[in-house]
Structures are given as C-alpha cells and as structure tokens.
Structure 1
Amino acid sequence: MKTIIAAYSGVLRGTGSSILSALQDLFWLSKSKVEKQLQIISVLQWVLTFLIMGGRRSQWVRNWAIWRYFRDYFPIRLVKTHNLLTTRNYIFGYHPHGIMGLGAFCNFSTEATGVGQKFPGIRPYLATLAGNFRMPILRDYLMSGGICPVNRDSIDYILSKNGSGNAIIIVVGGAAESLNCTPGKNSVTLKNRKGFVKLALQHGADLVPVYSFGENEVYKQVIFEEGSWGRWVQKTFQKHIGFAPCIFHGRGLFSPNTWGLLPYSKPITTVVGEPITIPKIDNPSQREVDFYHSMYVNSLIKLFDKYKSKFGLPETEVLEVN
C-alpha cells in the first residue's frame, strides 16, 4: 500500500517514467498494463473529488503528469478551428454537459491536451458551481487548475479587471442538461439560456461555441420521463441546491464488464468553433440579446454539422436544441 501511495505521489510531481519502472519491477506487469492502471487512478481521483467534495491558478498543477494519464484513458482530444486574438476576451459555451463535464475539465483546466499551445496567450477559466468553493481544500484544488465560480462577481472580475486574453468556459446547459444525457443522444439545453449572451454583450466578450463529441457516451444514466416522481425529485434538488442528482453508472475499478463509478473509456473530442464578434453594450435590450443568442445557436449547429461525421456520427444526425 505504501508503494502505491508513493507511486501516486510521484506522478503528481511529474515523475511518471520512474513510477512506471518501479511498478513494473514490483508487479511484473507490462508497461501498457501499468499505464492503464495509472490512467484508471488518475480518472478515479477526479471522479471521487467531483462526487464527494462536491489556491490560485498554477501552471505546475495544470501540467501534472497525472492529467496526461487522465487524457489517455478515454482518450480526450482538443480540436482548434480558428485563432483567438489575445486582445479580446471570450466566453466559451461548452456543450453538452454530460454527467461530469469530463472533456471540459481535461481540456480547459489542465494542459493535457495542449490548450496553452493551441491558443497561445489565452487564459482559460472553467466556471463551475459556486458551492464547490465553500470547502477550503477543494476550493484551492479547483482554483489551481483555473476553475472559477459561475457567478456574476467572478465573471465580471475576469472579463473587466483582468486584462485581455481571458476565456471563461461556461457549461451552458448546466444541471438541467445533465438529466437528459445518455449514450447515443446529442441534445443541448439552450433555447432559454440567454444569460451568458447578456454577459458577453455587457463586457464586449466574443462568444465561442464548443461541442464535445462523445461527452454523453462515458456514462449510462436512468432517464426519468417528464412528470414522473423521479424527475420531480431531480428538479426539486436542482431548484434548491443547484445540481440535479443523477442515477448513473460506468465501469468497475477492476473490470470494464462490471458496474462502478469509473467512466467508460470512450473517446471525447472537443471542437472549439469560430468566435462571434460581440459589441460592448452596457445595457443590452432583450431584442439585442435575442439577436446574438440566435447567432450563437446557429453557429453551434453549424459546428456540429461540420464535424459530426468526422467523429463517428452519421450525416443524418441532428443536434437537438431544447
């Protein structure tokens, strides 16, 4: 047990290769099997953090070797389609939420997929539930990766008092969208989600649609129909607490053929679309918000349609916008 703990600590310090060698000598496993176990450990620690628990930004933390094992477990890939100007600020709309937003975390809160190299000079901040920041240890852990509370004060500060080159990633569909995520389904909760557009207008921050192909494939969920007691319970939690409890499962720790908390190792490909230039309007009218919201929805659909066949979906697949 002490050896395993020491190995895990070594990975956090970025000494992945020496740990591989030590584990091979200890357990007589092949390199590929040891790497697979490290991938499982890296994903499990984040899943447990997400479920049980709920600093400042650190490039050292964002570059931990453990995140590369996390990336390779699925694997997760980040696709850039356009350059982003460092003289502008951005709001990325991330879709779909999935159960845990694993693609959003890996791509924008770590450097495992090379976001800093693909978008030089851009500082990504993944926005998540403000309640996660009430616990001191978890708060510092999240902030070290560039995660911020999804509240008005935090977003206003980043977009108005932190210079340019900032990108806030908002999982627009939120808890409501997570209730409908299931393998084989591509749907987003977006029709009545317009607050992020209003924020973009007030700060003159360009909007960037982002779609993650495969985000809904990594967990299987029990979907409760509208009007059922199960959906009532979920919506009640969502209204009063801010998140919706989902009944889901992935694979077991020791076997992919058993149920457990580990996500299935299905590929997740996150495509960052073309930015939409947004003017700065201190008090945008509802008509202006609706206009740019419509532009955003159309851009997201075009992004989905352009790349769907490249990542395993048939040309007939349609993105459902709710």
Structure 2
Amino acid sequence: MKIEWAPAHVPPKRRLETFVTGILTLIFFSLPVLSMGIVALLLFFGGLVIRALVLIYVVYIVVEHKRNYSAMDGNGFIYYRTNPLYRIYRNYFPVSLVKTADLPPNKNYILASFPHGILGTGICINMGLEISQWLKLFPQVRPKVGTLDQHFVIPVLRDILRWWGLVSVSKGSLNYYLTKSNDPKDPNNRDGFTSNAVAILVGGAQEALDSHPGQYIITLKNRKGFVKMAIRTGSAIVPSISFGEVDIFDQVDNPPNSLLRRMQTLVKKITGISPLIPVGRGFFNYTFGFVPYRRPIVQVVGAPINVIQSSEPAADYVDEVHAKVVAAVEQLFEQQKQKYMPNPAKTKLVIN
C-alpha cells in the first residue's frame, strides 16, 4: 500500500487542528477503558486512604445514578462547552449548524438525529462540546446529547460526559429532562433558559455498523421508542440530519451477513456497543490512522413536529407520529442535500 504523506509546509494552524483532533479522537475511542484503568490502578497501587476514597466515589456515583440518572441541570460550567480547544476541534472539519425553523423555548424537544456515523461527531460538537453556534441560533434552549446509560456508572467517564453536556438516554433520564417546566419563573430556569432539547441518535449502534463514506443508511423504520417518549412528555420531535457525518471515517468492510458483521452484531447484542474498526488518516499521512478525515459536517435542524401529550400513547397514534417523522426526515434530506453534499444526485437516503 502506497502511503500518501502530508506536505511538509502545512500552515501551523492546520497542524494544530490536526493534532488537537487526533488527541481528542484517541480520548473518545479509549475513554471507557481508560477510565476503568485509572480506577483499577488507584485501587491496586493506592494506599488505604486512596482506596477508601475511590470506593466511596464509586458507591456514590452508582447511588446517584439510580437516584436521578446522573442528571446535570442547566448547561453546566459553560467554559467546558465553549472553550478555544473545542473550537479548534470544530474548525478542523469544520462542523457547522443550520437552522431551518425556530424552536420556541416554551416546550421541550427531542432531536431525532441522523446518521450516527462512527462517533456522532456533528451532534456531539454542536450540542455537547462547543455549543456557541447553538446558543446563537436557539436562544433559551439548552442542548443535551443522549448516550448509553451504562456510561454513567463508570467512574471518571461519567463526570467527563456530564461536563460535555451528555445525558443518559434511558427512559427515566429522558423523562426527567423532557418534563422540566418551561415557566421562566420556575427556580430551575434561573439561568435564563426555559427549554431542554435532547438529541437522540435514533439509529444507535446498528446505524453505526452501516456507516461508510457517501452512504446514508439510517435505522428508523422500527424505532418508535423516542416517539412514545415524546408523546408521554408532550415534547416536539425535531428531525436533524448531519450531512458529511459518514464521510469523516471509513471502517473495515463489513457487508451484511459477513463474518465480521455477524461478530459485530453479536457483541452489540451483548453490550449495546458496536465494535467498529474505523479507518481514518494519520497525523502526517492521508492513508491510514485513527484521525478523522478533514471533511465538512453540516447539521441541519428541521422544523418541530408537535404531538398531543398522553401518558399512555395509543399504538395507532404512535404509528401516525412515527410516519410524520419518517416523512420529515426524507423531506429534509432531499431539500438540503443539494446545498451540503458533493454528489447529491447520486446519493439516496436508505431507511431501514
């Protein structure tokens, strides 16, 4: 395999963006294992006091998660979510955010987000790590990103995710955020925000397995849990598509029914996590590595789909709202792909 090396005379700004993106990507991929490793090392090598403190910490986060889903109200410490480091990360691709309709801050929202890609980079930057663009476009609406519930009982990882604005995607957690009052006078809204918007990567681990450059294959046909949650809480559903998300990484070829795909599916069923083998570039080459490719991601946020609240959603109504979501996602993709894709005529949206 011929290696394509990066030019020697790359501007320092671009070198810095590549370095920051590479380090952050390495952290994202390794953080669960790294977090558990830190705790194991402290328990093994630490003295009596350190071991006691670690055990207290572990017990505390498990109890706290059962009590309130490790919730963090408000936007947290805003510096963690608007600092220069994450702006460098944003600018590497770059990642941008496009608004097609207002999200009035008098209700809560579920952003049904597609595609997952390898890491869900566009969503996680715009609504988690570097939220400055979101705050300008959607004032008074707090951005949150839903992720796997089990991440919030892993020491260290749990606290880092909370700093980044990530929340558990469990039913209890979603209900907690989506039933928050929208009254400006409510004590929980003293920060000036009166609405929560929780992004859910609906296709999840299954959709990640189908992520390859230029292919928009999303998992939605049989995903109705988020619709039921929206109806129970009275939250509007907002379709969102991140154009370019699938282009920043490739992965080792894993066609359906291949041995690799069957093994990945088995692990996914057991753990809820897809064991992906991503393929990117290196720090100094464009041929292989774990650094994502420098390709733009544009998250387009559609118009909200309002629902009639019901504590016991009827199956027919769930199907009706789900059909509206599918139609809205298809329409948003077709309307916007001409602006944000290099080969729009050749690219189709496949909904599984």
The residue that corresponds to 1:231 in the other structure is: 261
Q: 1:218 aligns with which of 248, 258, 264?
A: 248
Q: 2:28 aligns with which of 50, 57, 65?
A: 50
For structure 1, the 5+ residue unaligned runs are 1-28
How large is the Cα RMSD of the aligned pairs? 1.8
Q: Distance in 2 between matches of 1:278 and 1:134?
A: 33
The residue that corresponds to 1:104 in the other structure is: 123
Q: Distance in 2 between matches of 1:161 and 1:136?
A: 27
Per mean C-alpha deviation after superposition, the further-off stretch among 170-179 and 278-287 is 278-287
Q: 1:295 aligns with which of 278, 299, 324?
A: 324
Q: Report deviation, 1:191.
A: 0.3
Conserved? CA contact 1:180–1:223, under 8 Å: no
3-state SS of paired residue (2:280) = strand
Q: Report deviation, 1:246.
A: 1.3
Q: Is 2:105 the counterpart of 1:72?
A: no
Q: Distance in 1 between matches of 2:16 and 2:139?
A: 29
1:237 partner amino acid: V
3-state SS of paired residue (2:285) = coil
Q: Report deviation, 1:231.
A: 1.4
Q: Report deviation, 1:101.
A: 0.6
Q: Distance in 1 between matches of 2:330 and 2:237?
A: 14
The residue that corresponds to 1:241 in the other structure is: 271
3-state SS of paired residue (2:156) = helix
Q: Is 2:279 the counterpart of 1:260?
A: no
The residue that corresponds to 2:53 in the other structure is: none
Q: Aligned runs of 1:10-159 on 2, under 5 Å?
A: 33-54=11-32, 56=72, 57-111=76-130, 114-159=133-178
Conserved? CA contact 1:97–1:177, under 8 Å: yes
The residue that corresponds to 1:285 in the other structure is: 314
Q: Is 2:201 the counterpart of 1:171?
A: yes
Query: Can you list the C-alpha shifts for 1:116-137, whole angstroms capped at 9, x where unaligned?
Result: 1110000011001122222322
Q: Report deviation, 1:58.
A: 1.9
The residue that corresponds to 2:299 in the other structure is: 270
Q: When the two structures are superposed, what TM-score results if normalisation uses the length of structure 2?
A: 0.79
For structure 2, the 5+ residue unaligned runs are 1-7, 33-69, 183-193
Q: Report deviation, 1:146.
A: 1.1
Q: Report deviation, 1:247.
A: 1.9
Q: Report deviation, 1:316.
A: 5.2
1:93 partner amino acid: A
The residue that corresponds to 1:181 in the other structure is: 211
Q: Report deviation, 1:162.
A: 5.5
Per mean C-alpha deviation after superposition, the further-off stretch among 107-116 and 267-276 is 107-116
Q: Distance in 1 between matches of 2:161 and 2:16?
A: 21
Q: Is 2:339 the counterpart of 1:310?
A: yes
Q: Percent identity?
A: 37
1:271 partner amino acid: V
Per mean C-alpha deviation after superposition, the further-off stretch among 51-60 and 132-141 is 51-60
Distance 1:295 1:264, change over 3 A: same
Q: Is 2:351 the counterpart of 1:321?
A: yes
Query: Can you list the C-alpha shifts for 1:24-81, whole angstroms capped at 9, x where unaligned?
Result: xxxxx99x72222221232223312221113952211001101111111011110011
Q: 1:200 aligns with which of 224, 230, 233?
A: 230
Count of paired positions: 292
Q: When the two structures are superposed, what TM-score results if normalisation uses the length of structure 1?
A: 0.86
